[in-house]
Amino acid sequence: METERGVSWSQVYDTWRNHFYSLNDDKAKSAFNTFFDLQDFFSEKSPTLGMPLTLGISKKDGYCDVVMALHICEQLHDFFEKRFPDIPSPNLSDLTPETYEVLDRFECISAPMLNKYQTKAKKKNKAQAKLRNAKALKDLGHKLVRDKRNVFISIDIEAYEIDHSILLEIGWSMYDARTDKFLDQHYAIDSYKHLKNGKFVDDQKMRFGFGTTVWCSLKQAFKELRKDLDWAVERDGGFILVGHGLDSDIKYLKERKFLWPTAHKSETLEVEESAKIATLNTDIIYGASVNDMHNPPSLGRTLNILDIEHWNLHNAGLLDKIDWCDSSLNYRSFSVIGFSKLTIIG
């Protein structure tokens, strides 16, 4: 791994700007603005054309940035003094060099090139932040499971493949961590008995394997869901949502004006304002476990990767029970496999 001591472009720019603007001298401000005008900075006659720069990651905090080596900072300082000898230049000691892991070296010849590498750095930082947040979610999931205090609820809704405004099924599984017990519910909407999926999405409506499918109205199904949520909130003060890509299911509920319970015995359309303690998105947790948040696999693919047996994925009901795994590598997996999959992977 190649490393380099240097200072980020943004630190040089900000430090120099603060220095020249603190002089309260219009000539100093003008000199700074002229020197760092990127069209001028990379002009054909400029000594800074082709400046060697690095795309690097700070060994201190993991932040990615465009970096100048220390000797380049010194040369930049000399170029400024030669061009503006009457303007007090900043001290190099005002800069705080760091050690960077070198990702790429380049000789910058234009403002667009500099912008391209700065954009790469921003994307890298965004990806790293996403991974850090995902790992924090994974750790939170482990803690909530270990605490054995709350109810984990996984909700799935199956819409009609031709018209997503029509909901054919709603199911949920509740895992009570206090008692290590499950409650599985599956409701099929009786006004749409004549509608079936199968062209784009598998039709598994009649293959619920953990109880009896109840035919009823959507209103009644929502009423039963609300009863179970209310019970969890009354006992524990909240509930934990689990699922592999929950956004669409939550959106369906909001569009149908489903009211979530709050901790203050009221109700809300917004799940984030409800008594929800946490949302454990298993697609995010899986990405954290493999250190790759790019295009997380589908539920079925995730189960295949984890070598977990599954079937009837497009049935809004529970397919399997709970699976605890430990190994010499301290691997632990808590799995509720079904319409939504809860997997907290170590």
With vertex at residue 23, the alpha carbon angle to CA 17 and CA 29, rounded to the nearest 5 degrees, is 50
Taking 60 as the threshold, does the pLDDT of residue 322 lie above it?
no
Domains and CATH numbers, the chain: 3-131 (no CATH), 148-345 (3.30.420)
Tell me which of 9 and 146 has the higher pLDDT. 9
- Alpha-carbon distance 29 to 62, whole Å? 33
Tell me which of 200 and 260 has the higher pLDDT. 260
Taking 50 as the threshold, does the pLDDT of residue 335 lie above it?
no
Mean pLDDT confidence for 238-261: 92
Burial class for 125, CB neighbours closer than 10 Å (0-12, 13-18, 19+) = middle
- pTM here is 0.75
* Phi, psi (rounded to 5 degrees) for 155: -115, 140
Mean pLDDT confidence for 104-115: 96
Identify the band that residue 243 occupies on the pLDDT scale cut at 50, 70 and 90.
confident
Q: Which of 46-50, 75-79, 200-204, 216-220 is predicted with the least confidence, judged by mean pLDDT?
A: 200-204
Torsion from C-alpha of 83, 85, 90, 93, nearest 10 degrees: 90
Q: What is the pLDDT at residue 317?
A: 41
Q: Which of 3-17, 78-92, 176-190, 204-218 is predicted with the least confidence, judged by mean pLDDT?
A: 204-218
* Phi, psi (rounded to 5 degrees) for 266: -120, -165
Helix (H, G, I), strand (E, B) or coil at 178: coil
Residue 27 to residues 30, 33, 35, 84: CA-CA distances in angstroms?
5, 10, 12, 10
